């Protein structure tokens, strides 16, 4: 009725138990944190490796000196035309192209102030013949400035469409017009191209 166990049964049970124990050991080991690459650094070493935090100036004099230095650095970068220092109205490839095109040509509009000042003086004179001549000259200057600005704006717009398709061209004509009416040495950012240099 009762069958006698074979003599190798205990050995089979021991092998199964050992296999189960090894599986448990492997699963425990796999959940452990891997070994560290090196010893934990001391607190003084860790603090020394950190970046130095921003230190606010302790007095008004050092604060104003720092502000002056920052303003001077930004003003120099603005003169050079670096993008980070430019105001929003001057940023971008399209605005840079407009400045280069205007700066590469010699126009009459940048000199209109030299003619406008003596004309204003003539307008205040109560001589009928002189006032008529001054009025005609003022009208001529306006026609030249507006006509030249219109031509430059259209030219810049076409160049921008060819070189930077898909870019926002809003306000590019008036931007080119205003720069064209400024004296070259007073333009900001400073011109980066020479007169006569071919832009487009």
In a domain, 84, yes or no: yes
In a domain, 89, yes or no: yes
**CA separation, residue 144 to residues 1, 27, 80, 115, 150 (Å):** 126, 87, 30, 12, 10
In a domain, 146, yes or no: yes
pLDDT at 12 over 80: no
Q: What is the pLDDT of residue 50?
A: 61
Q: What is the pLDDT of residue 48?
A: 59
Give me the helix-helix angle, 128-163 and 112-124, nearest 10°: 160
In a domain, 12, yes or no: no
- Token digits for 81? 């035309």
- The closest alpha carbon to 199, from 95, 104, 108, belongs to 104
Q: What is the pLDDT of residue 84?
A: 85
Q: What is the pLDDT of residue 161?
A: 95
Domain limits for position 123:
73-186
d(CA 134, CA 118): 9
pLDDT in tens, 50-104: 655 556 666 777 767 777 887 888 888 888 878 888 888 999 999 999 999 999 9
- Token digits for 34? 């891997």
Domain count, the chain: 1
In a domain, 26, yes or no: no
In a domain, 36, yes or no: no
In a domain, 174, yes or no: yes
pLDDT in tens, 174-198: 999 999 999 999 999 999 999 988 8
Share of the chain above pLDDT 70, in %: 70
In a domain, 34, yes or no: no
């Amino acid at each position: 009725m009762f069958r006698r166990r074979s003599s190798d049964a205990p050995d089979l049970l021991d092998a199964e138990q050992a296999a189960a124990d090894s599986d448990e050991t492997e699963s425990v080991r796999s959940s452990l944190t891997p070994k560290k690459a090196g010893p934990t650094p001391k607190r003084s070493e860790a603090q020394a490796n950190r970046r130095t935090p921003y230190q606010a100036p302790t007095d008004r004099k050092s604060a104003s000196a720092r502000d002056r230095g920052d303003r001077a650095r930004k003003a120099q970068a603005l003169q050079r035309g670096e993008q980070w220092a430019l105001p929003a109205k001057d940023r971008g490839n399209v605005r840079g192209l407009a400045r280069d095109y205007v700066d590469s040509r010699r126009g009459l509009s940048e000199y209109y102030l030299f003619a406008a000042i003596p004309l204003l003086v003539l307008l205040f004179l109560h001589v009928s013949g002189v006032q008529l001549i001054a009025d005609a000259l003022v009208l001529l200057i306006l026609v030249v400035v507006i006509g030249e600005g219109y031509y430059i704006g259209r030219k810049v717009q076409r160049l921008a469409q060819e070189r930077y398709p898909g870019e926002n061209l809003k306000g590019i004509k008036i931007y080119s017009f205003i720069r064209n009416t400024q004296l070259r040495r007073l333009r900001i950012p400073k011109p980066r191209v020479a007169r006569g240099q071919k832009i487009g």
